[in-house]
Structure 1
Amino acid sequence: MGIKVELEKNSNKCYMLAERKAAQYFKSLQMQVTEQTHIPSLMKDFESWKHNHIHHPILSLFSSKKGKRNSSKGYDHYIQWLDYTGKLDSYLNRSISYIFMRDLGKALDSPDTQASIARSVNNLKNHLTKRKDNHEMFSMAGLYRWAQKEGIESTIIWLFDKLKMVSANIPEGLDAEQAQRKLIKIIAGVVMHEIEEMNAEVSHVERSNRLEKAIKLGYSYGLTYPFIDDLLDAKILSAQEEKQYSTLIRTTLVTGFVPELKWTGNHLNLMQFIHSELREAFQFIKSEHHPNTFKLFLEQSYVFFQSQEVDRVKDLDNPNYTNEELYIPVIIKSSSSRLIARSVINAPEDEGFENRTFYYGIYNQLADDFADMFDDIRDGAVTPYTYYLKYHRERPDLINPFELYWTVICNLIQNVYNSDSKTREVILDRAINGLKRYKARMGAKKYNEVMELFIPTNLKFNHLIQKMVQKADNVDFFDKLLRDHMIANLKNERKEQDEFLETIKTVREKINRVLNIAKNESIPKESITDAANYSLKGDGKRLRPIVAWFMGVNKYALKESAIIPLLKSLEYMHTASLIFDDLPSQDNASIRRGRQTLHERYNIATAELTGLFLTQKAIEEQASLEGFDSKTVLKLVHYTAKATADMCKGQELDLDSKGKKLTLEQLNMMCFYKTGIGFEAALIMPAILANENETEIEALKKFARHAGIAFQIKDDLLDVEGDLTMIGKSVGKDVENNNSTFVSILGREGARKEMWEHYCLAMEALEQVSNKTAFLKHLLNYMVHRDR
């Protein structure tokens, strides 16, 4: 107990030192606001700055032919427009320069920094303008392709699994898209720090190792944002639960050890998950540090957490907070968050980094608080802006946070970065861009009302700012475009995923209602129909008919009632293949779809006859299709017959492979015939009925081939990793039957890499398919992430 008290004293001492330094910084800012000493310097800075951003009306006439393009019109189109107008280089240069200042704490007048920025701009420009594929920068396929180049595929697969798990456990009440975005941003920031620390002499192996570690460290640190910061801010937990949780976090940062969770109250399952994941993350960070550097990490983390706690307990209904109480925690938390991102990778000391980061942080924080002030006041959060909004009339002593913001800018340009022209350019670009974005989002009327409330004391300076907001051009930033794009994508992904799951559920219910085969009452004992219905009523996923329904109804606008026979035929063929697959002469399985296999429930002979019966029922259903040209139906039946024959060949290859070690090429061919053809049929048969062109059909076949192989690899992984209660069939059958699988040939890690390779190939094939492919994209995501 005595050791813990000493540790707490040391942690509090660190916070007090940070508080003292922040108080000195705030005092100097407050003096400049009071004396207005920053205004002449800023006016002079703007006079120099505006020449690059305010164009003479006559000159504007000559440049108007290229027009103006709003970045809200689309991410890719805006990048193309910038490239076409010759603005892309300067756009990326100021964007990368800003990131080097903000995230890496660099001084822009350093020749080494300038060279790094130039390389980064060139690489990013090449990526944006010369992509051979259409993968999004932060899509799973795009990230996996990058990981392959860097030799870190296993780590990216690990990250995909982690992000999926976090997404599934974000509680209702948290902004899921923002939480995911912040986590991804932190990971990217830590990786950027690590890349910047590496030089050209670093070997490929060392680079891969360092990137792998940076990704895991970034995730481990970034996890604190959704599961500590956001969770405590969201008021999801009760006051008593918040106290329990804060005590647990504080104890961890003071002692360096994660206490056991002894939770009282609600949200037990959520907190057990969060505690387990954060403990694993904390232990990983600890394992990557020397005791001395880990001590520094703990101290910085404690300072950051404590500054958040001080702000978190503030009550907007309390009219008595001093300026110091409002601003000092903001200075501390805004600087310490950046310091942690660097210390988490145990980076060597960088002269000037800590000083620049300390003074820079509040610049960003005040800009963010300005943008979020109405959301914050709705949530009852105390920020310099929300507090000033509520009490400025009765508290003339309160500092105008908008005026302090410009004081911070002046201090950065003049004192921290020594009047460097590039730094001035980037900082003023960012400031004016923030106001322009705010005005566009809120509308001119609301913007003007806000400006009336926060108008600086010097009216001439205010007039200059508003003129710049109205007329300045070329001040936007790539990170803001990417941020908007990511949030829009995450929201759209969630919407599409919800629609995908709802479609799966709805269509599955429809298919289940029509699958039952009527008995022929004229035959006294007809056990084959009963056996067929027994197999059909199992807990099947119905993926093939669901895919066919989507392709037929949503993509090709075929009538749902007209393709019901097609949907039935696909499930009949698939169920028949499972019956044969489970027989003692083949895989000898005892459980299928969560119940006894057919030969176990009845007998082998009945199972064999039922499989043949269902195959013929499938052809009968296809032959009964109405409303289509007879040649089209004949083409469909011909395709089905060939596909069924090929599936039989695939099963023969599988049986013949028992006890043999296949090559990867042989295994790919075998599983395509066994599994891929079934997916192909679900895609191609509706396309045949819709008389789709051969180019589209070939792209769909390519997609089906790789999606089917990815599906089979996931099956192989589930056979060694899955849970019987989850997947509904026996696990370990491949080992028991001495089957060659992707796991037996490549190992688990190699199988995962192969699965993601086929995922990327399928996604690339999907780019060649015409519109309405969101369902297929989410189907592919389901295939590689499923638990059954």
Structure 2
Amino acid sequence: MYRMNEELIKKTDTSYQLAEQRAAHYFHSLYHQVLNKTYVPVLIKDFQSWKQTHIHHHPILSIFSRKKKKNNSHGYYNYIRWLDYTGKLDNYLDRSISYIYMRDLGKALDSLDTQSRIRRAVDNLRKKLTDFQKEETESFSMASLYRWAQREGIESTIIWLLDKLKTVSVNVPEGMDADHAQRKLIKIIAGVIMHVVDDMDNKVPQEERKQRLDKAIRLGYSYGLTYPFIDDLLDSNVLSDLEKKRYSQLIRTTLITGVVPDLGKWTGENENLIQFIHSELKDAYEYIKSEQLPETLKSFFEQSYVFFNSQEVDREKDLTESNYTNEELYIPVILKASSSRLIVRSVISAPEDEGFDNRTFFYGIYNQLADDFADMFDDLKEGAVTPYTYYLKYHTERPDLINPFELYWAVISHLIHNVYYSDKKTREVILDRAINGLKRFKVRLGTEKYNEVMNLFASGIPKFNQVIQKMVQKADDVDFFDKLLRDHMITSLKNERKEQEDFLETIKAVRIQINKTLRISNTENVPLLKDIIIKAANYSLEGDGKRLRPIITWVMSVNEYGLNQSAIIPLLKSLEYMHTASLIYDDLPSQDDSSTRRGRLTVHKEYNIAVAELTGLFLTQRAIEEQTYLDEFDAKTVLRLIQYSAQVTEVMCMGQAMDLDSKGKELSHEQLNLMCFYKTGIAFEASLIMPAMLAKVSESEMEALKKFAYHAGIAFQIKDDLLDVEGDPSIIGKPLYKDSENKNSTFVSILGQEGARKEMWEHYCFAIEALKEVPRNTSFLKHLMNYMVSRDH
């Protein structure tokens, strides 16, 4: 177990006690408001003013047209279009950005400087949203993220982040929500970036801007990592009680001593998970610590400990325990809600700001109570103790319990009038948010269930509840962009995960089908040499090949063009025979001289060079022969396909000749692109164009597919070049550094590893962008690109 200095423990406990005292003072001021209902007349008056801009009396005819338009506004892009069309987008974005400036940046809206910053942010966001619509661009794709990185000059940082996000997603264990973890992590990173961007203006030199954005992204990831791998992990049932206790103690020791302890021996089924998390969190923690200024380091440790300890206090509560006091229920909520936002400020080493500190401290519980209200039934189902779940369970037998719904409104009153000094815009935004939360809750639960909840939580404030429910029923224009964005992100992440699962399942299933068809039978009484060649061909075909090319052809043929599965089998075989032949030639001593391929000895090593050469020729001819068996298609189309196939083979031969001729030479960027297309891209093109020919698609669609294949092939080849220097030989099935040994010009040798990665992502973006010109469902091809750039073999 981890030993700690008693003096450090005492010092940390003292800091926590001081924070507790402050939270207790805040809680008791709210308690008195609830007890005396002093917030009720104040907020009724606020709503009387507020409703003037939110409840409109429409002529009877306009009601129907208004409802019709609203019904067509569902969905992220459609809703933005609807807002823009109705002239509501500016106000929508203004209240949304204003809210974020209050919540995440701790700003006061009555500041002229803040108003100016909000206006700039609104204008920028409006332009981006309308640009995305015009270009029909997915705003949350890896391609759009990388394009943003290029504009900012931080490509390497974003490549690093994409690799990290992939690693985290893969390592989120069953029993935890991977989509939620990824969304939360992205949200934290975006929040830190927003803090940093807000502190910069157009006068900041480009180099400094790049450095600050790089730092913000790495800090955001490092801090955000604590949510899935500390909070969510400890909230889940992944770890045993004993493991949770040991893991919590490790975190506590780190925050008290400032040093991450060694993990030591960790036994059990979670050993690999904990080893990964410990390593990743240690790196993240050391990075945050190294970037702290001396004057903010103390604040960082203190706020981190307050947040962690308050979370632990709440986590240890048991819903079956009926004797928790109001202070025990609410003070940890105040502490964790405020400290989580103060941590972000200290993480980026922002200067001390008393106004920010006060606003953030008082604001935190407002968000937390709103979130707990929205999630109360999920929390109740999981047995989590929140002010709402506890009140739901014990309100009949505990008349001393504070009604959390009433406390929520007391917090709102306190914020508007005591923290933001009755600022009109602040009141507008906070009341917008409150009514929006109730509207969303009502839609999610349904009217009947919603009324049940209100009868319980609002029964003690009948006059005020009447006002609230009128606003919920009639008020317009209270939606917020971050809620739309959140819903869109969750939907996108879930769809992305489902599409990826479908993609992998399709590859697996189609690969099995293709493998069953590839074996070449020796049905005739033939000379011994041909028997050897057939054995050699089958030996090569039986290797652990990815079968990407025939799989692409199958998906496009069957799923997109509606061709008969059995009718295209000769084409699938043809493509794999052509590809396998090219690999046999590529491995020969006169070319790349490889000893292993697809996890086994190459053909010339298993047999001999002559057999390998003849087998390659045999498979090439067999590929052409297979194409003649496409007898369900008209002869003219098949003849055109065979002609195209022969041209592809010619181009591949030229590409290999270029590769051989380039040994020991330094190719230009353009020459390398051309060679890679000839060697790799043309084969991907064939897998797309040949089924397109059979389906007789338009020439414009074929051109778009060729453009995709060109960039996909180069990206694929660059990934191969990278794997040759940084892959795992046991996974990729061949030794590393073969390109260097053979003095091959590669993207790595010319551009270096970092430059090669940038080039790969550039071609990735071009390929994804080319898919917009293909009038089909391109989900498979998009995930194919994702696979190409993230594969490990």
TM range (shorter): over 0.9
CA offsets, 1:26-76, max 9 Å, x none? Answer: 000000011111111101110111111100133883894684425872111
Partners of 1:116 and 1:159 in 2: CA distance: 28
Q: Which residue of 2 aligns with 1:591?
A: 596
Q: Which residue of 2 aligns with 1:274?
A: 277
Partners of 2:178 and 2:279 in 1: CA distance: 20
C-alpha contact (below 8 Å) 1:403/1:456 kept by paired residues:
no
Q: Which residue of 2 aligns with 1:30?
A: 31
Q: Which residue of 2 aligns with 1:102?
A: 103
Give the direction of change, closer, same or farther, for the CA distance of 1:577–1:292 in structure 2 (3 Å limit).
same
C-alpha contact (below 8 Å) 1:241/1:265 kept by paired residues:
no
**Structure 2 counterpart of 1:646, from 648, 651, 654:** 651
Q: CA deviation at 1:292?
A: 4.0
**Match status 1:284 vs 2:280:** no
Unaligned runs of 5+ in 2: none
C-alpha contact (below 8 Å) 1:314/1:382 kept by paired residues:
yes
Partners of 2:249 and 2:492 in 1: CA distance: 36
Q: CA deviation at 1:768?
A: 1.0
Q: CA deviation at 1:137?
A: 2.4
Name whichever of 262-271 and 636-645 sits farther off.
262-271
- Which amino acid counterpart does residue 306 of structure 2 have in structure 1? V
Give 3-state SS (helix, strand or coil) of 1:767's partner. Answer: helix
TM-score by length of 2: 0.98
Name whichever of 763-772 and 277-286 sits farther off.
763-772
Partners of 1:60 and 1:416 in 2: CA distance: 44
**Match status 1:700 vs 2:705:** yes
Partners of 1:11 and 1:291 in 2: CA distance: 18
Q: Which residue of 2 aligns with 1:11?
A: 12
Partners of 1:212 and 1:104 in 2: CA distance: 19
Q: CA deviation at 1:626?
A: 1.9
Partners of 2:15 and 2:182 in 1: CA distance: 31
C-alpha contact (below 8 Å) 1:251/1:259 kept by paired residues:
yes
Large movers: runs of 4+ above 6 Å = none
Partners of 1:441 and 1:287 in 2: CA distance: 45
Q: Which residue of 2 aligns with 1:83?
A: 84
1:215-230 correspondence runs (5 A): 215-230=217-232
TM-score by length of 1: 0.99
**Match status 1:168 vs 2:170:** yes
Unaligned runs of 5+ in 1: none
C-alpha contact (below 8 Å) 1:197/1:347 kept by paired residues:
no
Partners of 2:149 and 2:166 in 1: CA distance: 18
CA offsets, 1:561-583, max 9 Å, x none? Answer: 00000000000000000001111
Name whichever of 454-463 and 117-126 sits farther off.
454-463
Q: Which residue of 2 aligns with 1:608?
A: 613
**Match status 1:684 vs 2:686:** no
- Which amino acid counterpart does residue 108 of structure 1 have in structure 2? L
Q: Which residue of 1 aligns with 2:540?
A: 535
**Match status 1:261 vs 2:256:** no
- Which amino acid counterpart does residue 605 of structure 2 have in structure 1? E
Give 3-state SS (helix, strand or coil) of 1:123's partner. Answer: helix
Q: CA deviation at 1:653?
A: 0.9
Partners of 1:121 and 1:678 in 2: CA distance: 47
C-alpha contact (below 8 Å) 2:4/2:253 kept by paired residues:
no
**Structure 2 counterpart of 1:521, from 519, 524, 536:** 524
C-alpha contact (below 8 Å) 1:672/1:705 kept by paired residues:
yes
Q: Which residue of 2 aligns with 1:504?
A: 507
Q: CA deviation at 1:758?
A: 0.4
C-alpha contact (below 8 Å) 2:681/2:714 kept by paired residues:
yes
**Structure 2 counterpart of 1:570, from 569, 575, 578:** 575
**Match status 1:123 vs 2:133:** no
Residue-pair matches, total? 788
CA RMSD of aligned residues (A): 1.4
**Structure 1 counterpart of 2:298, from 274, 290, 295:** 295
**Match status 1:738 vs 2:738:** no
Give the direction of change, closer, same or farther, for the CA distance of 1:71–1:61 in structure 2 (3 Å limit).
closer
Partners of 2:189 and 2:154 in 1: CA distance: 15
Partners of 1:19 and 1:164 in 2: CA distance: 38
1:362-373 correspondence runs (5 A): 362-373=365-376
Partners of 1:185 and 1:98 in 2: CA distance: 15
Q: Which residue of 2 aligns with 1:56?
A: 57
Name whichever of 326-335 and 260-269 sits farther off.
260-269
Give 3-state SS (helix, strand or coil) of 2:773's partner. Answer: coil
Partners of 2:418 and 2:325 in 1: CA distance: 27
C-alpha contact (below 8 Å) 1:647/1:677 kept by paired residues:
yes
Q: Which residue of 1 aligns with 2:154?
A: 152
**Structure 1 counterpart of 2:344, from 330, 341, 352:** 341
C-alpha contact (below 8 Å) 2:550/2:576 kept by paired residues:
yes
CA offsets, 1:263-292, max 9 Å, x none? Answer: 244300100000000000001011111344
- Which amino acid counterpart does residue 683 of structure 2 have in structure 1? G
- Which amino acid counterpart does residue 350 of structure 1 have in structure 2? D
Q: CA deviation at 1:10?
A: 1.2
C-alpha contact (below 8 Å) 1:539/1:594 kept by paired residues:
yes
Q: Which residue of 1 aligns with 2:718?
A: 713
CA offsets, 1:201-238, max 9 Å, x none? Answer: 21000000000000000000000000000000012111
- Which amino acid counterpart does residue 222 of structure 1 have in structure 2? G
CA offsets, 1:6-34, max 9 Å, x none? Answer: 11111111111110000000000000011
Partners of 1:745 and 1:252 in 2: CA distance: 44
1:359-758 correspondence runs (5 A): 359-525=362-528, 526-758=531-763
Partners of 1:442 and 1:195 in 2: CA distance: 38
Give the direction of change, closer, same or farther, for the CA distance of 1:617–1:50 in structure 2 (3 Å limit).
same
1:245-256 correspondence runs (5 A): 245-256=247-258
Q: Which residue of 2 aligns with 1:198?
A: 200
- Which amino acid counterpart does residue 499 of structure 1 have in structure 2? D
C-alpha contact (below 8 Å) 1:133/1:764 kept by paired residues:
no
Name whichever of 439-448 and 261-270 sits farther off.
261-270
Give 3-state SS (helix, strand or coil) of 1:73's partner. Answer: coil
Q: Which residue of 1 aligns with 2:112?
A: 111
C-alpha contact (below 8 Å) 2:73/2:82 kept by paired residues:
no
